[in-house]
Structure 1
Amino acid sequence: MSCPKVQTTRAFANGDLVRVADFGVNPTKLEINIWVPSKLATKPAIILALHGCGGTGEEYAQRTKYNTLADTKGFINIFPSTKNDNNCWEVNTVKGLSHEAGGDNQGLTNMIKYTIQKYDADPAKVFVTGTSSGCMMTNVMMATYPDVFAAASCYSGVPAGCLAGSPGASPQTADPACANGEKIKTSEEWGKQVRAMYPAYNGTYPRLATWHGTSDTLVTYPNLAEQLKEWSGLLHVCFTKNVTDTPQSGYTQLVYGDGAKLVGYSAQGVGHTVLVHEAEDLKWFGL
């Protein structure tokens, strides 16, 4: 007798990542790779993990531990790829810094919508993280789709809007002023710029934990302070204290308010980029 084919939760392709051909409107021709654990949690959480310039979703999946953690905890990971502008995310254009305007951010959001529907995921447990250009894009996703994400973490990036008007978003094409830490604004100025990206929105913004190395010469250290200024105003929290040697020796945690909405991590002597602290990210996400 012939037995019916067993349908497993995970399809095996692309190094255990599932490549999805059609996830909805995709104006900038991004690629999507999804990691679905064999033991999927009920109403699973989703982490959108964004690679740096020159990288790919597959590469970022391999060099981070999010998939191993997903197999333990039952959440879903999305590792997208961009092949535009030296594989750097669109954080400089008007459409890329707007809501539903045809940028990378719209395609990324449609990946999330697809995953929620396909796997009955929890729309209240969607998170975004990334490194370098991925951190820059994390800030942009928070600004342009704040209602999609509960929280974010990112490594060695810049504030949302820092590269606005730049001819490109990669080290080869961008106006260097942003990466060099020369875009200095007040909290109010950053907040006004963010709110203009989605002017119809009047809700709360996602929680953020952002990390930066003091010896970063590619995306320089002042960008940590600018990110914290940007989001402290939008999240309505003020700096309260530093906690040294947290979460490890040489790292200082910068706490805003009670630490529930905004924290920074200053990594003494670390260059570009700060290593991903996946376990800390999961704590921040509540996973």
Structure 2
Amino acid sequence: MFYSILLAFLAVFCCSGGGKGGQGKVFAAAAQLTQVLNYNNTAKAKPGMWVYIPDKLQSRALVVAIHSCQSSAQKYFANSKIPWRQGADRKRYVTVWPSSTTECWDVSSRASLSRDGGGDSTAIASMIRYAVREYGVEEGRVFVTGGSSGAMMSNVLAATYPDLISAVSLYSGVPAGCFVSASGAAAAWNNTCSAGQSTASPQKWGDVVRAMYPGYNGTRPRMQIWHGSVDATLAPRNYDETIKQWTNVFGVGTTPTSSTPDSPEKGYRRDDFGKSVEGIWAVGVGHSVPSHLDASEAWFGL
């Protein structure tokens, strides 16, 4: 009798349905970061895909959390300052953690800066499509976030795969395409961009985005852009250039429609540019701005 009760308890406690409609997949109750060995990657680039699915999955949303330079999916997931595991546990949504095979993400080669070009951006798009198909993620509820190099890739994904992503919350990045390599090298560092010396008009920055997916006229992801005022790695000027870029893409001005001091915390300033672009300027904060789970989740509508 005891063993029958124990087995029944374990059957309920240890497994919960996943996949479309909550069927076809079984996930351990002791949720853990798990590698997906075959995510039907169509790219030449081969970053790893890791997934964290909380116990009793409830939401059909997906957050893609993209690590910074000199990191990995496992390190980013284990970093106590990166709150997306806690967010997934609290609100029961799926998280995907891409893992680069290079020191930093490739945000410099034409392969990655082009729709279906075969670079890192194409590989992460394959991860998103896999998660939508296999874990019952709702199309229209896919969100992307990242810090530093991960923020750069978040911008690139917004430009190359806008049809797959609903909103982005990026921390301490640069405009999409700013790190382009004249030689075409993958994952190349760009000193001019990192120093904040790559400046252009809003129209030119917007054209960079539009050129990554020529002819696209559909919905684009809403953009939330965070940057520290004393960032010594990716100069604060990159905040202004990124705002220029995305306000132009959405056809709005670079003057905030509203500005809120001490939001989301003291010393920060929230600038809204209509409903689709939001900038958060962190006074006195360096590289990189700490992740703010509540504010990012609110931007995503989670």
Query: 1:139 is paired with a residue of what secondary structure?
Result: helix
Counterpart in the other structure of 2:72: 56
Alignment deviations for residues 113-154 of structure 1 (CA, whole Å, 9 cap, x no partner): 111111111011000000000000000000000011000001
Separation in 2 of the partners of 1:54 and 1:235? Answer: 33
Separation in 1 of the partners of 2:280 and 2:182? Answer: 27
Query: 2:98 is paired with a residue of what secondary structure?
Result: coil
Counterpart in the other structure of 1:198: 213
Kindly indicate whether residue 70 of structure 2 is the aligned counterpart of residue 29 of structure 1: no
Q: Which amino acid aligns with 1:31?
A: G
Q: Quick check: 1:156–1:272 contact (8 Å CA) kept in 2?
A: yes
Counterpart in the other structure of 1:40: 57
Alignment deviations for residues 226-269 of structure 1 (CA, whole Å, 9 cap, x no partner): 01000001112222232111111110111112xx2111111111
Kindly indicate whether residue 161 of structure 2 is the aligned counterpart of residue 161 of structure 1: no
Q: Give the one of 100, 122, 125 matched to 1:82.
A: 100
Q: Cα offset for 1:169?
A: 6.7
Counterpart in the other structure of 2:156: 140
Counterpart in the other structure of 2:23: none
Corresponding pairs, count: 279
Counterpart in the other structure of 1:111: 127
Q: Give the one of 105, 109, 113 matched to 1:97.
A: 113
Separation in 2 of the partners of 1:178 and 1:169? Answer: 16
Q: Quick check: 2:29–2:55 contact (8 Å CA) kept in 1?
A: no
When the two structures are superposed, what TM-score results if normalisation uses the length of structure 1? Answer: 0.92
Q: Cα offset for 1:11?
A: 4.4
Separation in 2 of the partners of 1:83 and 1:18? Answer: 17
Q: Which amino acid aligns with 2:92?
A: G
User: Which segments of structure 1 move beyond 4 Å, counting only runs of 4 or more?
Assistant: 1-9, 166-170
Separation in 2 of the partners of 1:216 and 1:234? Answer: 25
Separation in 2 of the partners of 1:248 and 1:39? Answer: 32
Counterpart in the other structure of 1:243: 260
Q: Give the one of 282, 285, 288 matched to 1:273.
A: 288
Stretches of structure 2 that go unaligned for 5 or more consecutive residues are 17-25
* Percent of residue pairs identical: 37
C-alpha distance 249-174 of structure 1, shift in aligned 2 (>3 A): same
Stretches of structure 1 that go unaligned for 5 or more consecutive residues are none
Alignment deviations for residues 69-103 of structure 1 (CA, whole Å, 9 cap, x no partner): 2122121000110021x1x1111011110001101
Counterpart in the other structure of 1:175: 190
Q: Give the one of 109, 122, 127 matched to 2:143.
A: 127
Separation in 1 of the partners of 2:29 and 2:35? Answer: 9
RMSD: 2.0
Separation in 2 of the partners of 1:175 and 1:155? Answer: 18
Counterpart in the other structure of 2:232: 217
Query: 2:217 is paired with a residue of what secondary structure?
Result: coil
